[in-house]
Structure 1
Amino acid sequence: MKKLLDQSLRPLVIYAMAVLIVSIPVYFLTINWIWENELDKHHYAIREKLEKRLTSLDLPDSSVASMINVLDKVQPGFSFTQTTAPSPDSSYTLIRFDTFMNDREQFRCLTTDIRVNGTLLRVLIETNMEEIDETILAIAAVTIFFFIVLLAGFVYINRKTSLRVWRPFYETLNSLHAFRLEGGKPAALPASQVTEFTDLNQGLDRLMQASLASYKQQKEFTENASHELQTPLAVVKSKLDLLLQSRSLDQPQMQILEDAYQAINRVTRINKNLLLLAKIEHAQFDNQQNISVAGLLGELSAQFADRFESSSIRYTQQVSEMTLQANPMLLEILLTNLLVNALRYTPAGGSVSVRADQRKLIFQNTGISPLNEQNLFRRFAQASVEHAGSGLGLAIAREICERYNWQITYDFDCGHHHFTVSF
């Protein structure tokens, strides 16, 4: 996951780096071209001065020849040769060994003609470009330095500006994170002068209002339905009790009544569980206190002792002193549902163990095959076709864990089911 600011900044940084990389050779070639032009102008200026001064001296040809001979020997960068026909001027760059510097050097050259006392001379003017290359590199280095400073400043200013511009968005996001349907009130969204953020907040406010209204209706319906069902279910159950005690019924009729009685019991349990889920979702268990997990498990295991014994299931408990801040009823329901779940999926002669590992409580029981993890914590979904239940026990366990920001997970390893609650 990447932040929105990084997503918008990344293309800009990549583009700037690409421009920087391309600009380095462009700067070098441009400055080098400028220097070569300046040297060519300088060479032509030297040519004009040399021709004018030699002509203005009005020396005889022998003296001019002697002077040129001396210049040819003592003045580096000049070479004179007599020619009979004029040739076009030529400017070029070459690299050769320089006897004066005793090293290979780069030169900018101009080959041109001058006329002195009617004699046509071919002149070669050279300028060492070594210092020019150093100047070009220095200018390029300074340019790159300021370019990087400019890029860093751009990134910093863009980030600071973006943080300021996007602050209302992050404030809205924090308000949404704190929003809970069971609270009954919409989140307080911050005011913004930006039109897009204002429209976003208005849309979110309408969405929260609609969600709260729907949640309130669902809550009232669940509570009313569960409450209203309790009385007729109790009446039907009492009537079935009376019929079961009647001696005028034959065996087939008794079996039908027994099946109906079991169905009514199942519906009653489902109704109670649905009512419990509604109360958990609506945060009706607010009172909390410090509870000893080991003590509570000891009480529950004593209640399940007969069921363990009847199924020949061995129960072990390795829980040291672990104290949790929670509602006593919810924690008891959580542990009870996990123990019932362990009993349901443990074959006869198997084992069930509960152990604590740091801030984790692990319920382990022997099993034949892994459970369907997709249906494990869903309401009215069966995790195993071999052991059907109401499909609400683990859903209630997950709801309790979410209520306290705990995490419940499942895995199957080496013939054992593992349900882990991380506090």
Structure 2
Amino acid sequence: MKKLLDQSLRPLVMYAMVVLIVSIPVYFLTINWIWENELDKHHYAIREKLEKRLTSLDLPDSSVSDMISVLDKVQPGFSFTQATAPSPDSSYTLIRFDTFMNDREQFRCLMTDIRVNGTLLRVLIETNMEEIDETILAIAAVTIFFFILLLAGFVYLNRKTSLRLWRPFYDTLASLQSFRLEGGKPAALPVSQVTEFTDLNQSLDRLMDASLASYKQQKEFTENASHELQTPLAIVKSKLDLLLQSRSLDQPQMQILEDAYQAINRVTRINKNLLLLAKIEHAQFDQQQNISVAELFHALDAHFLDRFESSRIHYAQQVSEMTLKANPMLLEILLTNLLVNALRYTPAGGSVSVRADQSKLLFANTGISPLDEHSLFRRFAQASHEHAGSGLGLAIAREICERYNWQIKYDFDCGHHHFTVIF
């Protein structure tokens, strides 16, 4: 997961880096062009001065030839040759070995004509360009430094400004994270002077009010329906008990009553489980204490050992000394439902094992085929058509695990069902 501020800064920083990389060759080409242009202007100025000064001296041809010969030998950057016909001027860049610097150097050159006392001379004017590289490097270094300084300042100011501007959003987010439907009160959202955040908070207030109202109605309906069903179910069950005790019924009638009695028992269990789910969701089991898992399993053994023996199922238990902070009733319901589930899906002659350590609790039992993982923890969904139950036992187990931020998962491996609760 990435923060919103980082997402907004990333394209800006990438764009700035692209501009910086592209600007380096542009700087080089631009400065190089400016430098060459200035050198060309300088060469033409030297040409004009040289031609005017040699002409203004009004020397005889022999003296001019001697002076040019001296300049050609002692003046760096000049070369004179006599020409028979005028040629167009030529400006170019040349890299050659310089005897004075004793190294290969880069020169900007101008090949042009001058006329002195009627004599046409071809003049080569050269200027060393090695300083251009140092100049370009210095300018580039200074430019990159200030560019990075500007970018760092922009990133810093943008983050500071964004944090201040987005502060109401983070405050709203913190309030929403602490909001719980079972609390019965909407979250207190901060007041903001920004129109968009104000509209967001107003929409969230309306949404929370509607959710709380719907939650309250659902809670009341579930509680009322469960309580109202308990009385007629108890009456029907008692009437069926009386009929089953009657001696005037024949065998088919007794079978019908037995089927009806089993159906009423199933409806009663479903009603109790629905009421239990509603209580768990409404946080009516807030009381918590440190519970020894080993002692709790020891208490449950008295209820399950006979059932395992009657089903010819081998039961093994390996529970280390571990303590969990939870509601005692909810933890007992969780372990009971997982044991009942293991008992239901284990064929006769199979085995059930329970292992527990400080980080997880593992229920393993032999099986024929894997259960339907998509509907395993859903309410009223049957994970297997061979062993139909109420469809609420594993849903209750998952609800309890979610309440304590535990993780429950299922897998089938080597002919064994594995239900694991990770603390």
- Give your verdict on TM over 0.5: yes
SS of 1:370 mapped into structure 2: coil
- Per-residue CA distance 1:234-279 (angstroms, 9 max, x = gap): 0000000000001111111110000000000000000000001111
Q: Distance in 2 between matches of 1:133 and 1:328?
A: 81
SS of 2:374 mapped into structure 1: coil
Q: Which moved more, 1:359-368 or 1:201-210?
A: 359-368
Contact 2:313 2:349 in 1 (8 A): yes
The 5 Å alignment of 1:98-247 reads: 98-247=98-247
SS of 1:380 mapped into structure 2: coil
Q: Which moved more, 1:320-329 or 1:232-241?
A: 320-329
Q: Distance in 1 between matches of 2:357 and 2:157?
A: 49
Q: Which moved more, 1:157-166 or 1:392-401?
A: 157-166
- Per-residue CA distance 1:57-108 (angstroms, 9 max, x = gap): 2222111101101111122211111223333222111222333333322110
Normalised to the residue count of structure 2, the TM-score between the two structures is 0.97
Q: Distance in 1 between matches of 2:141 and 2:57?
A: 47
Q: Distance in 2 between matches of 1:289 and 1:105?
A: 87
Q: Distance in 1 between matches of 2:301 and 2:368?
A: 23
Q: Which moved more, 1:387-396 or 1:130-139?
A: 130-139
Normalised to the residue count of structure 1, the TM-score between the two structures is 0.97
Q: Distance in 1 between matches of 2:31 and 2:357?
A: 71
- Per-residue CA distance 1:385-423 (angstroms, 9 max, x = gap): 111100100111111111111111111111111111122
After superposition, the CA RMSD in angstroms is: 1.3
Q: Distance in 2 between matches of 1:366 and 1:174?
A: 46
Deviation at 1:133, TM superposition (A): 1.8
SS of 1:125 mapped into structure 2: strand
Deviation at 1:155, TM superposition (A): 2.0
Q: Distance in 2 between matches of 1:358 and 1:4?
A: 38
Contact 2:320 2:357 in 1 (8 A): no
Q: Distance in 1 between matches of 2:392 and 2:123?
A: 105
SS of 2:372 mapped into structure 1: coil
Deviation at 1:347, TM superposition (A): 1.0
How many residue pairs are counted as aligned between the two chains? Answer: 423
Q: Distance in 2 between matches of 1:290 and 1:258?
A: 44
Deviation at 1:18, TM superposition (A): 1.3
SS of 2:373 mapped into structure 1: coil
1:262 maps onto 2:285 in alignment: no
Q: Distance in 1 between matches of 2:350 and 2:232?
A: 40
Contact 2:321 2:357 in 1 (8 A): no
Q: Distance in 2 between matches of 1:96 and 1:223?
A: 99
- Per-residue CA distance 1:360-398 (angstroms, 9 max, x = gap): 111111111111111111100111111110010011111
Contact 2:322 2:357 in 1 (8 A): no
- Per-residue CA distance 1:331-386 (angstroms, 9 max, x = gap): 11111111101111111111111111322111111111111111111100111111
Q: Distance in 1 between matches of 2:160 and 2:87?
A: 65
Q: Which moved more, 1:199-208 or 1:357-366?
A: 357-366
Q: Which moved more, 1:318-327 or 1:335-344?
A: 318-327
Identity level (%):
91
SS of 1:304 mapped into structure 2: helix
Unaligned runs of at least 5 residues, structure 2 = none
Q: Distance in 2 between matches of 1:404 and 1:374?
A: 23
Q: Distance in 2 between matches of 1:90 and 1:141?
A: 33
In structure 2, the residue matched to 1:289 is 289
Q: Distance in 2 between matches of 1:382 and 1:160?
A: 55
Q: Which moved more, 1:134-143 or 1:234-243?
A: 134-143
Q: Distance in 1 between matches of 2:314 and 2:153?
A: 70
- Per-residue CA distance 1:110-145 (angstroms, 9 max, x = gap): 112222222221111001111212211221222122
Q: Distance in 2 between matches of 1:357 and 1:93?
A: 82
Contact 2:361 2:421 in 1 (8 A): yes
- Per-residue CA distance 1:255-313 (angstroms, 9 max, x = gap): 00000000000000000000011111111111111111100111112211110001111
Q: Distance in 2 between matches of 1:225 and 1:108?
A: 99
SS of 1:338 mapped into structure 2: helix
Q: Distance in 1 between matches of 2:417 and 2:24?
A: 65
SS of 1:191 mapped into structure 2: coil
Q: Which moved more, 1:180-189 or 1:144-153?
A: 144-153
SS of 1:123 mapped into structure 2: strand
Contact 2:266 2:390 in 1 (8 A): yes
The 5 Å alignment of 1:267-416 reads: 267-416=267-416
Q: Distance in 2 between matches of 1:62 and 1:307?
A: 135
Q: Which moved more, 1:330-339 or 1:218-227?
A: 330-339
Q: Distance in 2 between matches of 1:34 and 1:212?
A: 73
